[in-house]
Structure 1
Amino acid sequence: MGETLGAAAALMRDHPRETMLPLLAIQAPLVIGTILVTILLYNSVFADEVYPQGGLIGVREGGAQAFAFTVVLAVGLVFGAVALAATIVSTGAAAQGKSLSVTEALDSAFARLGGMLVLTAIFLVGAVLLALLAGTNLLLAVAAGVAALYLTSRVAITYQVYLLEGGGPVEALRSSWNRTPGHMLRLLGIILVGATLVLLVGLLVPVFPEPGSMSREWRMAVDALLQILQGGVAIPFVAFAHAAITLYYLRIREEPS
């Protein structure tokens, strides 16, 4: 595991454009678009509503605000899938001594977007079902936690298989399931390291101001700056996590069947 993490760091150092630029190309307009939509809505349609902590991403009540949040979330999931796909394609090429432009990586990502969304939907449904199971009682919560770790390690390279080998989403799931035995603990360790680094982003960026702490306009401005800062800080951490998993996938792929 340590060797893979070190190789991922080296790959990012030697190929910063290939490993991080695809994420930036999607993340930047997505964050700016969310900020502009939030400012527009809370100065027009929601002018009489209380501006929530964090703007649209902090909506907790139902109604029109919740609908707007759902739309923003759906758009974020779609473009997040594009960013993930482009990053994996570009990183995989760099790891094999090739170099793709951002345009080429994004073209590949959009070409495979349908399958990416199918896989993402499958993973989200699985996560929701496990969360519902965990909320029942303590024993089931423990069982759900163990199941989540096991399933995560078995499907850890699904996106990589789908994007770098072709085929369909179900075929990629099956391939990941069949290839990961013997690698599950190392894959899980890499995933947990990556997840921890991404979660640290929330600790590095100050919290959004609470309602009443300052004027509505100032809170919008501060929220916008914090979202930009959070998105910028997250890029190298997220890129590192994807690079590590992709490198480990390439290692598994080289093993004899």
Structure 2
Amino acid sequence: MSDGHGPPPETPSGWSAEQPPPYSAPPASPWTAPGSPQQVPHGQPYGRPPQQQQPLGPGPQTPYPSYPHPQPGYGYAPHPSALRPGIIPLRPLGLGDILDGTIKLIRSNPKAVLGLSAVAALLTAVPVAVGQAFVLDSMGSAFADPESATTSGTELTTASGLVSQYGGSLVSFAVEFLVVTLLTGVLTRILGRAVFGGNLSAGEAWQLVKGRVPALFGVVGLMAAIMVVPLIVFALLFVAIAMNASSDSFGALVGLILLFIVVYVPYYLFFTTRFAFAAPVAVLEGRGPIDSMRRSWHLVTGDFWRVLGILLLTSLLVGLVSGILSVPFTLAGTMFGMFGAGSAATAIVSAVLIAIGGTLGAMITYPFQAGVAGLLYADRRMRSEAFDLVLQTAAIEQQRQGWVHASADELWHPSNSARR
């Protein structure tokens, strides 16, 4: 008979009925976020089945399990693999993810991306190529027979060359303003679907973008005004100083030019970075021009230097690649134009070669810059608005249904952001 102070009865497993067995696993929560690591029982390594406890005492003991190094935000569990239904993993992106996603965007839909970019690049390269071919032909004629050129003839040739060169550049800028703006909108819409593994043809993308064309032109127009106003102020100051020419005016002009460069370069980089996401916002979120620029400013806040660094690195890489592609054709066109002066056929060949070089360079530049800007925009929303959770939930549903439908385009609306 027990006096109430004896040991409690034992269960068949050997543990006291009043004392829970050690190392018991906490109950798992039924609510888990998409892609989040599952709860790991104490003493059990992540991803392994529970091990049977070995009795203490002499004899061979089970070695302690090796734990992975701590991961930021995940404790001692290894970093879970993110869903990747399309060109990027659905988590905050690193530089490698952004560059790789841009390349995958081009490779996944080359007909729409490279085809449209080639058309846009050709339209902007032809006016410049024609103007440069005319200037090179004029220079070649002067070099071939310098004595035959009279003073008036030289002045006429120089004036014609300047008109041809700068007139072609102005026409190219006007065409670029029109074509590249439309191209950016189309490529952004293609990218928005490619994140989920879907493809859009050029015609389908245009049907989705054409309603956003006024907003796109508004964004580009406001950006152009912001960049041009300082140039106009500088030009007025320069003309005012030059008209009051004196013995000390040359030094003042040089100082003004240096001051302008020192001030304008940071000004240009600051505003291009702050408004880098205005075009993607106008297309994917359906906002107006001013609201898109305000939204871009807000998204860049808190990560300005990282966004600036990625944009500068992208420009450097794209400039290097486009230069490798375009320099041979541009150099050959220049040689034809200068050493074959006076021949219409030579001028045509020169213009064609220069146009091919400009087209190849811009054909890589346009989609790459648009892709990096679009993926940076998605990354900033993931980091500041937990947008990756929205994308993961949608991707799971898309995979369950087995196809990517048009409702994925609506996920970019800011009402779907899960703000932290």
Matched, 1:209 2:334: yes
Tell me which residue corresponds to 1:16.
Answer: 110
Q: Is the 8 A contact 2:124 2:176 kept in 1?
A: no
Measured in 2, the distance between the counterparts of 1:68 and 1:238 equals 20
Q: Is the 8 A contact 1:18 1:91 kept in 2?
A: no
Measured in 2, the distance between the counterparts of 1:22 and 1:220 equals 25
Matches within 5 A, 1:30-69: 30=123, 34=126, 51-53=134-136, 61-62=162-163
Measured in 1, the distance between the counterparts of 2:378 and 2:161 equals 42
Deviation of the 1:212 alpha carbon: 4.3
SS in 1 for 2:183: helix
Higher RCO structure (Cα 8 Å, ≥6 apart): 1
Q: Is the 8 A contact 2:219 2:292 kept in 1?
A: no
Matches within 5 A, 1:87-98: 87-98=187-198
Q: Mark the CA change 1:134 to 1:196 in structure 2 (over 3 Å): closer, same or farther.
A: farther
The CA RMSD over aligned residues, in Å, is: 3.3
Tell me which residue corresponds to 1:250.
Answer: 378
Q: Mark the CA change 1:229 to 1:148 in structure 2 (over 3 Å): closer, same or farther.
A: closer
% same residue: 23
The aligned length equals: 240
Deviation of the 1:170 alpha carbon: 0.6
1:11-50 Cα distance to aligned partner (Å, 9 max, x none): 333443454333235445x269x47x95xxx9xxxxxxx9
- Say which is worse superposed, 82-91 or 228-237, in terms of deviation: 228-237
Matched, 1:156 2:284: no
Tell me which residue corresponds to 1:145.
Answer: 265
Q: Is the 8 A contact 1:134 1:145 kept in 2?
A: no
Tell me which residue corresponds to 1:45.
Answer: none
Q: Mark the CA change 1:220 to 1:198 in structure 2 (over 3 Å): closer, same or farther.
A: farther
Question: In terms of Rg, which structure is larger?
Answer: 2
Matched, 1:129 2:129: no
Tell me which residue corresponds to 1:196.
Answer: 316
Matched, 1:74 2:174: yes
SS in 1 for 2:103: helix
Measured in 1, the distance between the counterparts of 2:105 and 2:180 equals 22
Amino acid at match of 2:345: E
Q: Mark the CA change 1:145 to 1:253 in structure 2 (over 3 Å): closer, same or farther.
A: same
Q: Which runs of 5+ in 2 are unaligned?
A: 1-94, 139-159, 236-255, 386-418
Deviation of the 1:68 alpha carbon: 6.7
- Say which is worse superposed, 240-249 or 3-12, in terms of deviation: 3-12
Tell me which residue corresponds to 1:46.
Answer: none
Amino acid at match of 1:241: Q
Amino acid at match of 1:21: G
Deviation of the 1:180 alpha carbon: 0.7
Deviation of the 1:195 alpha carbon: 2.0
Q: Mark the CA change 1:133 to 1:91 in structure 2 (over 3 Å): closer, same or farther.
A: same
Amino acid at match of 2:118: L
Matches within 5 A, 1:155-194: 155-194=275-314
Measured in 2, the distance between the counterparts of 1:25 and 1:140 equals 36
Amino acid at match of 2:100: G
Tell me which residue corresponds to 1:117.
Answer: 217
Q: Which runs of 5+ in 1 are unaligned?
A: 43-49
SS in 1 for 2:268: helix
